[in-house]
A = this chain, B = another copy of it.
Amino acid sequence: MNTRQVNIGIIGGGSMCKLHSAAYALAPLYFSPAHFIPVRKLLCDIDLDFARHSADRYQWQEVTSDWRELVLRDDIDVVDICTPNAFHKDIAIAAAEAGKMIYCEKPLALTAADAAEMLAAARRNGVRTAVAFNKRRFPAVVYARKLVDEGFIGRPLAFRGVFQSSFALDPNVPASWRFQKKIAGTGVMGDLGSHIIDVCRYLIGEFDEVIGSSEILFAERPRAEGARGIFAEQNVRSDSVPVDVEDGCWFLARMSNGAKATFEVTRLSSGKHDGLGFELWGTEGSIRWDQQRAMEIAICSEADAADRRGFKTVEMGGPHPYGNVLWEVPGFGIGISDIKSLEIHDFIHAALEGIPYQPDFHDGLQVCRICDAVMESIETRRWTKVSSSAE
C-alpha cells in the first residue's frame, strides 16, 4: 500500500473522540481508491489517565496531556479539536500557527469575536480548516441542496428548522459544562442551534436579521465533578451550581434573499432526543427532512399534475450523494460513524488536493455571528442584524 498516510492528533478523549476514531477507521474503507490513510497517532487529554484509557479504547498510538505539545509535533498533520467550546480558540490559533490542517468540533467558538480571530489566524497561516457541522454530509441533506440548486423548489420562501432534545427536563441532570456560559458560551444555541443554522445557510444562504426568545428551565442544577457525558451522573455532588445558559431558544429570521425562517432549539422537548429537522418551502416545491429518519427525504413539486401531487419519500442509496461510497441498496442503514467518516474524508482529501471544502472556519464564524445576533435580540427585544459576511 502506497496510499499516503496522514497523522492525526486529537485533543479531548471523550465521546467525540470515540466518534471521530470510528470515522478515521472507516474512511479509507469506504472510499476507493482510498485517497489517504488516517493514522490515529496522538491523543491528548488534560487528564493523562483518561487519555491513556481513551487511546487504548480507540486505538491511538500515543498520548499526552499537553495540547501544545501535540500542536507543535512535526509528525502531526491534522489537529482534531474535540474539547469543550471554550478551548477551541487557543488550540486552533496555535494549530494554525503550526501550519496544521485543523478540524474543529462545533460551535467554532464562544463568540463571533473569538471565531473571527481563529479565522484570521488560519488565513494568515494559509492552513486548511473544517468545522464539524456534520449534517452537511448526510446524503439527504446534500440531495436537498442539489434540488435547491437545480431549481426544484423554485425561489425559497420559508424555512422551519428545529433541533429538539429533552435531557434538560430532568432536574437531576447535573450542571455539566454544557450548562455553563464560561465554557459553553451559550446553551442550546451553540450546541444544537448552530447545527440547524448551518443547515439553513447551506440550503438557502445568509441571514439578514433575527429576533428571538429563550428559556432557562432550572436556575440551578447539581454540581458535576468532572462529568464527561451529557447525562453523566456518576460524579454528581450534593450542592448546586447556577445555570446561566438557555435550555430553549425560539427565533425568527429574515434571510438575505427575503425568505422567512422560524427556529425552535431546545433540550426541553419531551420525547425528542436528537431531533434535528427542517421544512423548506419554495415557489415551485418543498422539501422536508428529519434526522431521526435520516435516510429518507420528502419532496413535493408543484410541477406534478394536480391529481398526482404530494410528498414523495425518497430513500437515499446508490443513485444519491455518497451512494457509490457507501451502500448501493437504499435503506442499507448509515449511522453517525459513517457520516463522520464522510466528513473527515472530504475535509482531509480536499486539503491534500487543494480543492475547496466547506464548512470551514468562515462558515463557523458566520454561524457564531447568527447565534450572537439571536442572543442580542433576546436582550434588546429588537430585530437584530447579522454582521456582514464580507470578511
Name A's B-contacting residues (CB within 8 A).
Answer: 1, 3, 15, 18, 21-22, 25-26, 28-30, 32-34, 37, 56-59, 143, 153, 157-158, 160, 165-166, 169-170, 211-213, 215, 217, 229-231, 248, 250-252, 254, 258, 260-262, 264, 266, 268-271, 273-275, 281-286, 291-296, 299-302, 306-315, 317-320, 327-339, 381-383
Contacts and interface: CB of A to CB of B under 8 A. Distances in A.
Given A213-B260, A310-B314, A320-B307, A302 B337 contact: no
Given A260-B248, A271-B310, A284-B270, A29 B22 contact: yes
22 contacts: A1-B56, A1-B59, A22-B29, A25-B26, A25-B29, A26-B337, A157-B268, A212-B252, A213-B254, A231-B328, A252-B252, A270-B281, A270-B282, A271-B286, A273-B317, A274-B330, A294-B333, A307-B319, A310-B312, A310-B315, A312-B313, A332-B336
Contacts of A37: 59
B157 A291 contact: no
B281 A268 contact: yes
A344 to B, nearest CB: 14
A318 to B, nearest CB: 7
How many chain copies?
Answer: 4
A156 to B, nearest CB: 11
Contacts of A310: 271, 312-315
A235 to B, nearest CB: 16
Nearest to A211: B211
B331 A291 contact: yes
A207 B304 CA distance: 35
Nearest to A138: B333
A33 B59 CA distance: 11
B58 A215 contact: no
Nearest to A326: B335
Given A157-B217, A270-B282, A273-B329, 7 more contacts: A33-B56, A158-B248, A158-B264, A166-B302, A211-B252, A270-B301, A273-B331
A49 to B, nearest CB: 14
The CB with the most chain B CB atoms within 10 A, among A26, A59, A337, is that of A337
Contact of A18 (B29, B229, B260, B293): B29
A228 B22 CA distance: 28
Nearest to A339: B333
Contact of A264 (B34, B262, B293): B262
Contact of A333 (B160, B335, B382): B335
Contacts of A318: 231, 306
A299 B21 CA distance: 35
A310 B312 CA distance: 6
| 4 tightest Cβ-Cβ pairs between the two chains A and B | A335-B335, A271-B300, A274-B331, A312-B312
A318 B260 CA distance: 29
A157 B214 CA distance: 11
A22 B28 contact: no
Contacts of A254: 213
Contact of A270 (B248, B302, B307): B302
A276 B30 CA distance: 24
A200 to B, nearest CB: 14
A318 B305 CA distance: 13
Nearest to A152: B308
Contacts of A329: 165, 230, 273-274
